[in-house]
Structure 1
């Protein structure tokens, strides 16, 4: 009798185990930390400004989810963290994020700051073997394409695939906001 090989599937990490305080620079050149957004929910997407595939898709979904939140969107700060670990290019980052939602803030850091943030959110990122694709404007970086919802206390409450329908994303954000308002 032949036995089939066992397949082990690693469960995704609980959202609460992801993230910690961060120190980065915004696309205006200002040093920021998570405390800079005190009282706000954070909706964070990690990628790189030269991306022409997952990042624009994720950021368009993020913007549509914010629009779907209506008046509640003011309680949410959308952030895009550039994980390329290249020399910070604030001008390129500012230009990239300007293509998406008006409240989107781009963040960039030194190699140490970026690495710490990537590690704390368990972001997978790796340079692809090919130097350039026809869509990117620099090296291709394969990376985790999730949006992370962090509550005003700094606790990650959920994460979404970048292709999730914006209405479902907004519904989940709204649900977490309501839970926080009604919990003792």
Structure 2
């Protein structure tokens, strides 16, 4: 059976982006049907209308509320269909790009990607894998100053994706050749 890969790029840079290059290499290595989502085309931020629509039971939503949630529903469906999410994620100012946070806000939906239980929240997207290609100028991935990777691991786990692997090309402003070599070596070693 052919796997489905959701390929997400969050870099604002369309040319010469390290994370776009790395995520593309990962997708080619995995070889499957690809759903493409480029966050350089901005997603809308949550609004009061969106929040009200989201908290209205699905069978009671007006046409305007259904329209307000249409893109979010599409993004959730992409995640549901995917076996693997490959995410190109630069670190901007110690954290994730705003475009990626907007994507998270649109896919983290009670009843669709997680649910509340007596034991706390439970992710509904279990059995999926995420591979995140991370690049930074100076922040070492996993360091005290890296707020991006811990956030990504947490929020993906919150919606049920607990198999999360990071491939880092960090400190690109300090040691670009060594950083890219390490990231490329990790990609070459990925289990397809």
* Greater RCO (Cα-Cα under 8 Å, separation 6 or more): 1
More helix by share: 2
